[in-house]
Chain A
């Protein structure tokens, strides 16, 4: 932990909606919703004017329209978001090289090495805000503190369009009156549990004994929250250049896991992940599938291949096998990553077998895939056709054919847009409401 409030959290205000207002001056100062319509669909983001009426991202369009009469729905300029956010990050990078971008529109900065150039953290925060406003035209809120977690809380409190510096002496005085919901890891469920005990502010939480918290929330989560309430957060600002994994997930509501559904959802996820891997000349050896059941229980299953893959079809097949294995183990206890019973079989027989024998009638609420253990893969070393045939090996005859097909499809998409071509289950299924471009932005490696 550094001596002064040298960790900054910079967060663009209502980013997507603000970009829309930036691009279309007629929208400025008016309530704007990106995505959805008054008749349906999902609101993906809302401007501050709309938020003032209670409109939130993830809300059905009709509900947003009800809450906020005069709400303007826009479709969203998805291709513009990334470059504009990149411009903002460029400005942050000119203040200090120690920038850790954590999503498209927010980043941590460690300015301990920049104070001799630009003055104390408060001045640096002000400089960043001034430059982003002048050069990009967007409002960015900044929090400065000794820890990441506190800096992030400070930027949330500073919103909209504000700056808060928490001096080391003021930390507890700043934290204590704030609602517990601002702490990292406190969602609606935890918030309700704490509130049942009369704990509503961080100060009240801080005065709760650690064992009580551990009993209430489980050992790890309880201890973690206890530390955060005491402003203990050893995490540093890390400027990781390379992503360690690429993943995507899809919330499904409550649905019965049928072979068609599982295949359609995984195929769509695999297409996005594999496309992103190929886009950056990368491939991964470890495939992990996450299945969430009702009551928030989740099971993950993973498999590590001998060679990294980036093929959409191969990723779909492996994910399908793993998903059925996870579904077969059910929502009971015994959660955790596991390789299950032996490696998945490329013949694909056991994916279907799994669907036939188990999983009938099981309800699931989420499917996710992530690919890790990443390696560079610009080319494919082809292989001699040695038995047994293994279509999952990139250099096999099938693997090479998939590689060629994927790259042809990538080229078509590059030219005619991502809807131009797709693998059948995903292309037909799609996910209603949320455009893939929007998901891409949220999932992209930064």
Chain B
């Protein structure tokens, strides 16, 4: 095997394919990245840990085709540290030699025969604009659970119905739902999958910049596949029955408030400086204003009043400051509408473009459960 590849091209590709590799793998070969140089002028890099697979294809000047398995993280570190010059790679006995400028590295190869076969991509279902998909993912994954002992809630429910793609996630304390339009390969497609939030965040970060993202999913298959810009990844789906969370959004609400989103974010950040861990920020809505307060006892207290439009009864409720800021930050609209029924019942957060106008609840909804005080 012998090929020449641009340093940036190799560094990007190997960094991405090696990103999920375990530091302490159950078997040594699983720490490897497979390099497959094809005579047609492509270098394919691949990794697989039985959960996530990654494949990247990059152009290379291949003089001798061949396949080797080398330590992935090490190769990533080496390629990132090399000078910006072409890298020459060739196999010498059981060692791979890298030359770049005056630098020279040799890496021991591992037996390719012991490496697991990568899963096939499931059936192609359609495609979505990378930017739109990344935004939707970032709006929803904030609400996904992080507790690995509850795997079900670490997933994002992806629902496909014709040209509508809906993402849902909850950690019990908030529930986020985003609906976007996409281009299904068949207009009548209906699919449901529970994808790890981690997998989706990775897609948003590493694949969405490349135009359109292809989504592969099959009835009864246990993996989901994403492909964009020469990169493909598959990931095991989360096992289990996702609770019927859509019905948790309230059918009707009695009190509505509309506030400038950026102002509310700034004020909430300031006031929550005095809210220690697990202590709430209180929001009191009255005619024309909302008062934010935080802090308990004598240590430190903060309050700030903002303009806000109120329809309905005056109401005071309290939230985990981070959960509140997560939702506000995900809106991406000029104004935020909070719809409430009772101080201890979940509040619905939606975005709207004008102070007087309709909210965009069909696109994005964030349901936030309050904190309850003693007495």
Which of B245, B279, B374 meets A386, CB within 8 Å?
B245
Q: Are A384 and B245 in contact (CB under 8 A)?
A: yes
- Chain A, 385-396, contact with B by CB distance < 8 Å: what is the 0/1 string? 111000000010
Q: Are A411 and B375 in contact (CB under 8 A)?
A: yes
Interface size on A, residues (CB 8 A): 19
Which of B296, B344, B346, B371 meets A384, CB within 8 Å?
B346
**Which residues of chain B are near A403, meaning CB under 8 Å?**
372, 374
Q: Are A384 and B170 in contact (CB under 8 A)?
A: yes
Given A306-B149, A387-B243, are A382 and B371 also a contact pair (CB < 8 Å)? yes
Q: Are A378 and B370 in contact (CB under 8 A)?
A: no
A383 to B174, alpha carbons, bound, how many Å?
8
A379 to B297, alpha carbons, bound, how many Å?
14
- What is the CB-to-nearest-CB distance from B5 to chain A, in angstroms, rounded to a whole number? 49
Q: Are B245 and A381 in contact (CB under 8 A)?
A: no
- With an 8 A cutoff between CB atoms, is A22 at the interface? no
Q: Which interface class (under 10, 10 to 19, 20 to 34, 35 or more) fits B?
A: 20 to 34
Which chain B residue lies CB-closest to A387?
Answer: B243
- What is the CB-to-nearest-CB distance from A378 to chain B, in angstroms, rounded to a whole number? 7
- With an 8 A cutoff between CB atoms, is B29 at the interface? no
Which chain B residue lies CB-closest to A281?
Answer: B374
A385 to B346, alpha carbons, bound, how many Å?
11
Q: Are A379 and B279 in contact (CB under 8 A)?
A: yes
Which of B172, B279, B373 meets A395, CB within 8 Å?
B172
**Which residues of chain B are near A381, meaning CB under 8 Å?**
173, 278, 320, 369, 371
- With an 8 A cutoff between CB atoms, is A400 at the interface? yes
Q: Which of A360-382 contact B (CB under 8 A)?
A: 376-382
Given A306-B149, A384-B346, A403-B372, are A378 and B296 also a contact pair (CB < 8 Å)? yes
Which chain A residue lies CB-closest to B323?
Answer: A381
Q: Are B279 and A378 in contact (CB under 8 A)?
A: yes
Q: Are B170 and A407 in contact (CB under 8 A)?
A: no
**Which residues of chain A are near B344, meaning CB under 8 Å?**
382, 400
A387 to B242, alpha carbons, bound, how many Å?
9
Q: Are A384 and B372 in contact (CB under 8 A)?
A: no
A377 to B279, alpha carbons, bound, how many Å?
9
- What is the CB-to-nearest-CB distance from A381 to chain B, in angstroms, rounded to a whole number? 5
Given A383-B173, A384-B172, A386-B172, are A378 and B245 also a contact pair (CB < 8 Å)? no
- With an 8 A cutoff between CB atoms, is B137 at the interface? no
Q: Are B372 and A382 in contact (CB under 8 A)?
A: yes
**Which residues of chain B are near A378, meaning CB under 8 Å?**
279, 296, 373-374
Which chain A residue lies CB-closest to B277?
Answer: A376
- With an 8 A cutoff between CB atoms, is B72 at the interface? no
- With an 8 A cutoff between CB atoms, is B268 at the interface? no
Q: Which of B159-192 contact A (CB under 8 A)?
A: 170, 172-173, 175
- With an 8 A cutoff between CB atoms, is B155 at the interface? no
**Which residues of chain A are near B373, meaning CB under 8 Å?**
378-379
Which chain A residue lies CB-closest to B280?
Answer: A379
30 contacting pairs across A/B (C-beta < 8 A): A377-B278, A379-B278, A379-B279, A379-B280, A379-B372, A379-B374, A380-B371, A380-B372, A381-B278, A381-B369, A382-B344, A382-B369, A382-B371, A382-B372, A383-B173, A384-B170, A384-B248, A384-B346, A384-B367, A384-B369, A386-B153, A386-B172, A386-B243, A386-B245, A395-B369, A400-B344, A400-B372, A403-B374, A407-B375, A411-B375
14 more A-B contacts (CB under 8 A) besides A380-B372, A395-B173? Answer: A306-B147, A306-B149, A378-B296, A379-B278, A379-B371, A382-B370, A383-B173, A384-B172, A384-B175, A385-B248, A386-B243, A400-B372, A404-B372, A407-B375
- Enumerate chain B interface residues (CB-CB to A < 8 A): 147, 149, 153, 170, 172-173, 175, 243, 245, 248, 278-280, 296, 318, 320, 344, 346, 367, 369-375
- Enumerate chain A interface residues (CB-CB to B < 8 A): 306, 376-387, 395, 400, 403-404, 407, 411
